[in-house]
Structure 1
């Protein structure tokens, strides 16, 4: 009889823990709860975008395309950078289309880091950054920021650098998930000086750049003096065009870094979905009205959910961008954020994400993240349930 083989898993595999965000979505199925957890819109993508994808599939654009991305799409990305930010990007040597912003982050880390290199990560942070770093055996060096403004200073950065051993890069999420922070020009200038002074790379996750509120403006870090050669900008179509399942992202970087990322991307995934790239060209041709309507749409949704959370005692932090709300859920009486999330799901049939996955390991907290990229009916129903919860 052959004995069962116990797999000898790699340290990388063991370091990657299951996603609490996806777990929260599974709770919805278990309890029949409203999903205010995952950044998963429950309303339709724009018709013009779906029609463009259907045309591309019908035209048999269904085989491998250039691993770097369709030339027309890379040109459209560069044109958008020029139009929106007066940022000159070479589509032939500085833009690569990849399988979602998640792959884009990993390409940047794989191209720039060696095992045991350290990366500065601002907390709260997007859940994926920890497993992203684990897959390249890099080490996160956390710098906590405090609610409600999440302010960063030069002194804070220098203290972090002094405490680190092999700091090589910094990740900047702008606008930020889960806090909704939009980084000011002054803060980005502080980060730019810090990177130039200590010869560090910046990896910027700008997937929510078009979702801004109350007059907030987005400034790509790569456009600041000294940063074009040391920044990898990661972006995509998922959030702006409500197609999170399409997995269309892109990275912008100097030619030497782009060359390295392209070689890695080619042997990881070959190319992003070809017919959807044709549709993405149509998406990026959308006029200013599309983006202003998008901001109005999400601001109205934010302004529906946040007051409901306040009335229920959750102490939300008003987001300036993205489509999440960070809250203190101590009102629920849970011993920690996971207990709070479970109590909310059981008592109000609303699923939110525990703060644990956005904070350094071991951080004691009672925070929850809510997503408002939902239909108005979903948000109105959530508000009704929160009101009932507050009444006991």
Structure 2
């Protein structure tokens, strides 16, 4: 038998009896997939791990709390033998062969009639990797191959073209704070499958270089606006490309809905009858402080954090932020898009009760190779920004959490 490779096949076990002998770690790893396959599972074991016992308590499996007995496999379609009793395993394996039940053995793969492949899943595809030579079985290598294939499918580095017609539409993808490794798996996959990418300057620009040559990349900041406002021009570009039957990705920095105008784009697409998928992203409001060693909450220091936009000053009639109330909070204040307004913001916070000595950190180009952290206080932040030439994009953190971690490098 060892001279011939195993024949790969997918078993459809819905409603069919599967017998698992042994309730230890092997069963704990294998049972979830059998449950997901809809199998009628009978566990035979005097003991089980807490996780396996929880599956029985939830009614996902039937548990016979005793050792294996001859006849347990008579009506099974498939069997997993994983007890610590080698003699019982051998007898059960012989019974499986007598009843022509495909049988996996955890203790002796060569004595089994079936092997369990290393499996992974990505967007409706199951990847199963099986060693073809019984004499050279290397489970770690098999698992590594599985992981490499699944990761490639998920992050878009391994692109498998869709041969069926794709439904044209738009995906609003949050690209994260800037580091290309911080985009979500789903976002990266959609980016790899796109025909057109309309990108913000704050999105993970390094990912654009990985796109195939046929993908049209449009810089949202350079769309000819004509008689339209900037956002209207972007909305129209999304609609026009989608109506041409293309798969469009709107690649945005951070999260589409955190000061990203994602809802405006979604509403415009909905009015035009264009299907849209929203892929959340990691917001710079928490990731950039974290990358700079600042926790936005910390036990005994801050029990809440508030994220506000600082793109308009506190005394501007367009401001929707209740700055006096923010000054009375004891937690962390995270300000986005506020570098050029931080002087007036600091004055307002101090005027309404915040201590001038409150620590402030400005993190410029967070999570990228150009990341830079500058520390100050509310009393000194305006002058510090000028003296240190802090420029957008930068995330500003106000509160005692700034002093929890390591200070900015000299």
Q: TM-score, normalised by structure 2?
A: 0.28
Bigger proportion of residues as helix = 1
Larger of the two Rg values belongs to structure: 2
Q: TM-score, normalised by structure 1?
A: 0.29
- Which of the pair has the greater relative contact order for Cα pairs under 8 Å at 6+ separation? 1
